[in-house]
Structure formats: structure tokens, C-alpha cells
């Protein structure tokens, strides 16, 4: 099998706290023999699980990147039982450019499993697939909706077939202690990072922590507290595991987004006006938003209606809308017992 195209400057199997970098060829007009760096840290002490903490899969989703950078900074060796590997910014050029995708146009979250002789995004994906995932028991991949949309702040999951893996993922998702959780399917292509990790049998815990081009302070707090509680929950971080009950909060609401009909696409170009907020309950046929027309002020707005009963989960954050853009997504509350 071909060696990965990505090199790592630290020994990820060594005990202790080490901060280093992954490097792979950078194709640029301004330097020859250049490399792209993706920074990585390993904090390892004694027996325990290995947890891979990932953020910045999409560049303009900063909630997880800030939490992961803080974790890398604050996690002390004596707090760890096992190993935490942190890659705080998987897509650094996209992060600096405030874009979802890489400057090449590649969507890193559609690059898996990757290949060592593919373009740079696939080279990095291949390194995760063949080097980092096999080391890990738990893979945490933090997302939000970036600039484009606001996703009800939540941890979420695929409902995987394996019952043991599903139960562990459900409990991991709940350990984030968000008010909402979401069950998702892949409706927009293949090659997702979580799917590759799930296929390797890992406990995969993912988030959608808002978005819309601004990170409110409560979201930073949710990213940080959720990440830390999940690390305690899986046993790699010292300290008492909190639950919503122990915090005096009601149970979280689990929203089911596995029906593709819950995703509403704009029928034409226009300017989207949201009439409801994520978290609002809607009935089938109720107007969720309106589409206005810049070049046709005489035209009445197009009403965009809920396709079924549910809860608004995602709403488009950038009013300018093209035909086929997702303008909102509904989730349908379901009972936790349906997942076990
Ligand atoms: Zn994302």
C-alpha cells in the first residue's frame, strides 16, 4: 500500500504533551517545494481511550476551532487518562479565508476516504483515514453552519446500524448537554469524514453549533463545556460527568432529520425573509419564509411553506438566494426510545 503523502512531525504514540504539525505538498505560484501545515497535538498519559478532536473541517465554522485551540492550550498531562489528539483547524487556508471550502474549491468533508496520490484535500483525508482514525476510539468532529445558515445549536449523529456503536454514539451526543440533538442523513454527496470514522467502528460525535457568520458568547461556552463533558464522559479527561438532570435542565429534544422531505430548497432566485426562528414549531402548510424579488418589486413574494409538522432546525443566514439553495430544514421530535 502506498505511504500517506502527509508527514507528521511528532510521534503520536509517545506519552507526554507534544505539539507538531502535519505537512503535505503545497501547490503555489509563489514558492517551490512548499508545504501546507496542519497543526496537531497529542496529550497522552497512561491507560485509557484515544480521542481524536477535530475542528475546522469547514473553514468558516469557527466555534469548534476556538474550543479545540483552547483545549490544546489548557489540557494538562495530569488531567488525561489515555490520549487526546487534537487537530484544531483541519482546513487552515479556508479558515483564514472565511470560506466553507478549500481555495481549490474542494469540500474537505466530501474528500474521504481520500488517496495518497489525489489532490491535497484527498491526501489529508487519506492520512486521517489510514493513520489517525485507526489510533482512535472516539472521533469528535465539530461543525456549525458557517456563514451560510444558522443551525439550531446541537450535537448530532447518524443513526448507524450497529446497535452497540449506535448506543455509544447516542450517549456521546447527549453528553454534549445541548438543548437539542439532531439525526441526520447524507443528502448532498458522499465522502464525509464522520462516515469514514463510523465505517471503522468509531464512536463518532459531531456538532452543529449555530453559524450565520457570528459566534455568540453562549455558543463558545456550549462548544467548550460540551467538548469537555464529552471527554469526561468517554473517560479520557478527569472530572465528574455532568448530565442535564444533574444541571437541573429538562431532557433535550431529539429532532429527526432523516426524511429528505424536511429539507426545503428555494424554487427560484430571490431574497429570503425568514418568518420563524430555529426552535419554533410549525405545522404542515404554515409559511416559514418568503422570497422577494429584487428586479420585480411589483411581484408578490413567494411563500415558502412547511412540508410537514416539525420544528425549524436550520434557516438560511444569507438572504440572497439562488434557485436550489436550502432555505430551511425541519426536524421532527422523536422519542429517545426509538433509537435504542
Ligand atoms: Zn461543516
* Distance of CA 251 from the midpoint of ligand 1 (Å): 26
Report how far residue 136's alpha carbon sits from residue 52's, in angstroms, rounded to the nearest whole number: 6
Residue 94 banded pLDDT, cuts 50, 70, 90: very high
Arithmetic mean of pLDDT, 81-91: 98
Nearest-angstrom CA–CA distance, 276 and 44: 46
Q: How far, in Å, from the CA of 132 to the mean position of ligand 1? A: 19
Total Cβ atoms within 10 A of residue 189: 9
Q: How confident is the model at residue 244 (pLDDT cuts 50, 70, 90)?
A: very high
Q: 145 CA to middle of ligand 1, Å?
A: 6
Residue 298 CA to ligand 1 centre (angstroms): 38
What digits encode the pLDDT tens for the residues 261-288? Answer: 999 999 999 999 999 999 999 999 999 9
**pLDDT digits 0-9 by tens, 204-235:** 999 999 999 999 999 999 999 999 999 999 99
pLDDT in tens, 165-214: 999 999 999 999 999 999 999 988 899 999 999 999 999 999 999 999 99
CA-wise closest residue to 161 among 191, 187, 185:
185
Q: Would you state the pLDDT for residue 28? A: 87
Rounded to the nearest angstrom, the distance between the alpha carbon of 307 and the centre of ligand 1 is: 25
Q: What confidence score (pLDDT) does residue 330 get?
A: 98
Give backbone dihedrals phi and psi of 94, rounded to 5 degrees, phi first: -70, -40
Q: Tell me the CA–centroid distance for residue 3 and ligand 1, in Å.
A: 28
Please identify every residue whose CB atom is under 5 Å from ligand 1, which is an ion.
58, 61, 143
How far is ligand 1, taken at its centre, from the CA of residue 61, in Å?
6
Phi-psi domain of 62 (left: phi exceeds 0; alpha: psi -120 through 50; beta: other): alpha
Asked whether the predicted pLDDT for residue 69 surpasses 80, the reply is yes
pTM: 0.97
Distance 107 CA to ligand 1 centre (A): 9
What is the arithmetic mean of pLDDT over 231-246? 98
Residue 133 in this model has a pLDDT that exceeds 80 = yes
Which cell numbers in the block locate residue 195? 462516515
User: What average pLDDT does the chain have?
Assistant: 97
CA of 33 to the centre of ligand 1 (A): 30
User: Region 95-116: what's the mean pLDDT?
Assistant: 98
Listed in order, strand segments (DSSP E) in 119-214 are 138-143, 149-157, 180-183, 203-211
User: How far is ligand 1, taken at its centre, from the CA of residue 177, in Å?
Assistant: 20
Residues 6+ apart with CB under 8 A from 29: none
- Look at residue 1 and tell me whether its pLDDT is greater than 80: no
Amino acid at each position: 500500500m502506498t505511504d500517506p503523502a502527509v508527514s507528521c512531525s511528532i510521534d503520536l504514540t509517545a506519552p507526554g504533551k507534544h505539539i507538531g504539525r502535519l505537512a503535505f505538498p503545497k501547490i503555489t505560484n509563489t514558492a517551490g517545494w512548499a508545504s501546507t501545515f496542519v497543526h496537531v497535538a497529542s496529550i497522552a498519559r497512561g491507560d485509557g481511550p484515544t480521542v481524536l478532536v477535530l475542528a475546522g473541517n469547514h473553514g468558516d465554522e469557527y466555534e469548534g476551532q476556538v474550543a479545540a485551540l483552547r483545549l490544546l492550550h489548557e489540557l494538562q498531562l495530569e488531567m488525561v487518562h489515555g490520549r487526546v489528539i487534537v487537530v484544531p483547524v483541519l482546513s487552515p487556508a479556508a479558515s483564514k479565508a472565511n470560506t466553507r471550502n478549500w481555495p481549490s474549491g474542494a469540500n474537505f468533508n466530501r474528500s474521504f476516504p481520500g488517496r495518497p496520490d489525489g489532490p491535497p484535500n484527498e491526501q489529508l483525508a487519506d492520512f486521517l483515514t489510514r493513520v489517525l482514525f485507526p489510533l482512535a476510539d472516539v472521533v469528535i468532529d465539530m461543525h456549525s453552519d458557517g456563514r451560510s445558515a444558522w443551525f439550531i445549536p446541537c450535537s448530532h449523529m447518524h443513526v448507524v446500524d450497529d446497535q452497540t456503536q449506535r448506543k455509544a454514539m447516542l450517549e456521546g451526543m447527549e453528553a454534549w448537554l445541548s438543548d437539542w440533538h439532531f439525526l441526520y442523513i447524507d443528502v448532498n454527496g458522499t465522502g464525509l469524514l464522520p462516515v469514514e470514522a463510523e465505517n471503522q467502528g468509531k464512536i463518532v460525535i459531531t456538532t452543529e453549533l449555530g453559524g450565520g457568520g457570528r459566534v455568540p458568547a453562549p455558543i463558545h461556552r456550549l462548544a467548550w463545556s460540551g467538548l469537555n463533558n464529552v471527554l469526561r464522559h468517554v473517560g479520557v479527561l478527569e472530572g465528574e460527568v455532568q448530565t442535564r438532570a444533574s444541571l437541573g435542565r429538562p431532557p433535550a429534544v431529539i429532532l429527526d432529520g432523516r426524511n429528505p422531505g424536511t429539507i426545503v430548497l428555494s424554487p427560484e432566485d430571490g431574497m429570503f425573509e425568514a418568518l420563524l426562528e430555529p426552535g419554533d414549531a410549525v405545522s404542515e402548510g404554515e409559511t416559514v419564509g418568503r422570497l422577494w424579488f429584487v428586479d420585480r418589486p411589483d411581484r408578490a413574494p413567494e411563500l415558502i411553506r412547511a412540508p410537514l409538522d416539525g420544528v425549524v432546525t436550520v434557516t438560511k443566514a444569507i438572504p440572497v438566494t439562488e434557485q436550489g439553495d436550502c432555505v430551511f430544514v425541519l426536524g421532527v421530535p422523536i422519542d429517545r426510545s426509538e433509537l435504542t
